[in-house]
Amino acid sequence: MTDLDYPSSNNSLVRRLISAAIVLPLLICFIWAGTWWLAAIAALAVLWALREFYRLVRAAGAGSYTPVGIAWGVGLIAAAAGGTGWLWILLSGALLTLIVGAVRRSSKTVAVDMLVTTFGALYVGGALSAAVLIRQSDQGFQWLLLAFLITFATDTGAYVAGKTFGSRRMAPSISPGKTWEGAIGGVVAGIGATVSLVTLQDLPLSTWSALWLGAAAAVVSQFGDLMESKLKRLAGVKDSGRLIPGHGGLLDRLDSLVLVFPLVYYAS
């Protein structure tokens, strides 16, 4: 999500809806087409989103090994598409690459640069590799659709509840538009969407498990949004980029999903 969670302009809202109407059907087509099509679009998304992430980090005053981080993130997608057995080998190789890169660079901030690079690769590449792994599981299309729709329902529920009842700001120094009432509305919407979709799609979860999955996904979805909002505050920018009209950068669209994908993967 963008840093201003609740747009005050009708034009902004219209741009967001038009962009969503174009992007979502294309995304569903890639998910339906199968693992390798999804992996291809995920790799491109990782490449672009990590460029935005490391650019924000630099603006916030920290450093990173951007090429290494991007290669690592894209490699995680390839490993997930090719089989999970290679995932840990790739992680070990990426860590070694980071160490070698740090040793070759004379800097007092080597440890921070390594940490930032590692976090970025796992934060974006690791999350989207979980989406690829979900697609490979039984009923993978349905599980992945569930992850997207939980996040969408949470976002919509938080927007409506925040607009209607919001009065207590949750984190005004990070994201002024967020309220506790909106957050609760997002959790309720996330739970309702999860229980409904699990039933409609005949996914192997009990109602109680679906309830807990919906609650957890709604919470981490909003937490992911706050994390990116904090980074943008530190960087002094409103959006991570200008890729999607009305939505900001790609990272602005992925921030609520990055923690939901791993959660749904373990549930599947």
Output the pLDDT for position 89: 56
CA dihedral 234, 221, 255, 72 (to 10 degrees): 110
Residue 248, phi then psi, degrees to nearest 5? 90, -145
Structure tokens at 201: 């799609």
C-alpha to C-alpha distance for 64 and 70, rounded to whole angstroms? 11
| Entry pTM | 0.83
Q: What is the pLDDT along the chain (268 residues), one digit of tens a residue?
A: 444 344 444 554 455 556 556 666 777 777 787 788 888 889 999 999 999 999 899 888 887 888 888 888 888 888 888 875 556 656 666 776 666 666 655 566 777 787 888 888 888 988 898 899 898 888 888 999 899 889 888 988 888 888 888 778 887 778 777 888 889 999 999 999 999 999 998 899 999 999 999 999 999 999 988 888 888 888 887 777 677 655 677 887 788 888 999 999 988 8
Q: 129: exposed, middle or buried (C-beta count within 10 Å: 0-12, 13-18, 19+)?
A: buried
Q: Which residue has the tokens 């969408």?
A: 152
Distances (CA, A) of 203 to 94, 116, 139: 35, 37, 8
Structure tokens at 189: 């919407």
- Closest to 119 in 3D by CA, of 85, 173, 43, 68: 68
| 179 strand-pairing partners | 169
Output the pLDDT for position 119: 87
88 with 76: CB under 8 angstroms?
Answer: no
Output the pLDDT for position 9: 43
192 with 207: CB under 8 angstroms?
Answer: no
Output the pLDDT for position 6: 42
110 with 116: CB under 8 angstroms?
Answer: no
C-alpha to C-alpha distance for 139 and 25, rounded to whole angstroms? 19
100 with 67: CB under 8 angstroms?
Answer: no
Output the pLDDT for position 191: 95
- Closest to 161 in 3D by CA, of 183, 191, 194: 183
Structure tokens at 224: 């992911």
- Closest to 58 in 3D by CA, of 231, 241, 249, 254: 231
Residue 175, phi then psi, degrees to nearest 5? -145, 95
C-alpha to C-alpha distance for 89 and 191, rounded to whole angstroms? 37
Output the pLDDT for position 7: 42
Q: What's the chain's length in residues?
A: 268
